[in-house]
Amino acid sequence: MPGVTWGDRVGIRPLRPGDAGALRRFVSDPDVAYLLFEELGGEPPSALLLGTMIFFQMLSSSPDFGIIERGGRLVGSVRLWRVSERNRSAMLTIFIGEKQAWNRGYGQDALRLALRHAFTNMGLHRVELNVFAFNERAIRCYERVGFVREGARREALFRDNRFHDILVMGVTRNEFLAREAERSTASVASEQ
């Protein structure tokens, strides 16, 4: 498949307008939206509008990525945004929209691919993200690839009739590359 960077389980490739229908379906799923969006409610943009947004986004220096399975099925998206050239930093957002694909290591794999891209191709120094404090699966997934908890936007989210913290997590280039090196040493050792 041209244009795909493969990891152990999934690949990432720039999103294209034809992905708009699937993306709309993913973000319309209340279980996904619950974990992803600070503001809930309201219709997601139409597939036509999403496709147009993706078209213009494709022209930017940092296109959003689709996450795809070996057979080519789109299962989610990972994006680097609010890129600061001066600070060499960006925010990251990821979701797997096909719920039966959760907990298969796809998230960790796609994160590693996106972080490799961020720290090598884009030359970034730091990537950060926000995650709801109750989203334990996501937090575990982020920690597994090297993100650390840096603080909390305390009680920033009102959901299910109570306030929740939104955690700020970040990873630097050196931390990520050191972790990747350790990982490849461990995998060589396990093959011997």
Residue whose structure tokens are 């989610």 = 76
Q: In this chain, which of 15, 20, 80, 96 binds ligand COA, going by CB under 6 A? A: 96
Residue 115 contacts ligand COA per CB under 6 A: no
Stretch touching ligand COA by CB under 6 A, among 42-50, 84-92, 106-114, 146-154 = 106-114
Cβ–Cβ < 8 Å for 126, 87: yes
Q: Is 94 in the site for ligand COA (CB under 6 A)?
A: yes
Give residue number: closest CB to ligand COA.
Answer: 107
Alpha-carbon gap, residue 151 to 156, rounded angstroms: 12
Q: Contact between 70 and ligand COA (CB under 6 A)? A: no
If binding means CB under 6 A, how many residues of this protein chain bind ligand COA? 22
End-to-end CA distance of the chain: give it in Å, rounded: 32
Q: Is 184 a residue that touches ligand COA (CB under 6 A)?
A: no
Q: Which two tokens stand for residue 54?
A: 């993706």
Q: For residues 120 and 114, what is the distance between their CA atoms, to the nearest angstrom? A: 10
- How far, in Å, CA of 27 to CA of 190, rounded? 39
Establish if 140 lies at the interface with ligand COA (CB under 6 A). Answer: yes
Out of 144, 149, 153, 179, which residue is the one contacting ligand COA (CB under 6 A)?
144
Region near ligand COA per CB under 6 A, out of 45-53, 132-140, 155-163, 181-189: 132-140
- Shortest distance in whole angstroms from residue 192 CB to ligand COA: 23
Please give the Cα distance from 156 to 38 (Å, whole number): 9
> Among residues 4, 27, 35, 166, which is the contact residue for ligand COA, using CB under 6 A?
35
- The whole-angstrom separation of Cα 18 and Cα 51 is 7
Strand 89-96 versus strand 126-132 pairing type: parallel
**Footprint of ligand COA on this chain (CB under 6 A)?**
32, 35-36, 76, 94-96, 102-108, 131, 135-138, 140-141, 144
